[in-house]
Amino acid sequence: MATVRLYRHPRCARCARFARWHRRLDWLHRFEDSTGVSPVGPMRLGEVVVQDLRRGTTLRGAAGFTLLCRQIPAYWPLLPLLRVPALRRRVEREFCGCAGAACALD
């Protein structure tokens, strides 16, 4: 049963690739992704929003990634690293969207 839903932009190849990785690593089936309209409204290319399905809260940026990491056991080693300010800022930039070629696959 899914406990978190990741909303991603439907035309972002990078987001689709990340969603496939999350799905592969989620052996407890707690994660699902959606290209539908998120609870916070339309998203920019590359933007990701994570919704906690149990509580109904919706998180963006590093807070959303932290929630995702808590649900997928393969990511548990990353949780302490998200307290490092430089890494947290990097995650914020990655989850808040991109422009142009930054979202394209190499």
In terms of residue numbers, what domain contains 43?
4-103
* Rounded Cα distance, 68 and 33, in Å: 11
Q: What is the pLDDT of residues 55-104, one digit of tens each?
A: 999 999 899 999 999 999 999 999 999 999 999 999 888 888 765 555 55
Q: What's the pTM?
A: 0.84
Query: Residue-wise over 73-82: b if at least 16 C-beta within 10 A, else e?
Result: eebeeeeeeb
Q: What is the pLDDT of residues 4-46, one digit of tens each?
A: 999 998 888 888 999 999 999 999 999 999 999 999 988 888 8
Residue 42 exposed, middle or buried by CB count within 10 Å (0-12, 13-18, 19+) = exposed
* Rounded Cα distance, 106 and 84, in Å: 29
Report the number of distinct structural domains present in the chain.
1
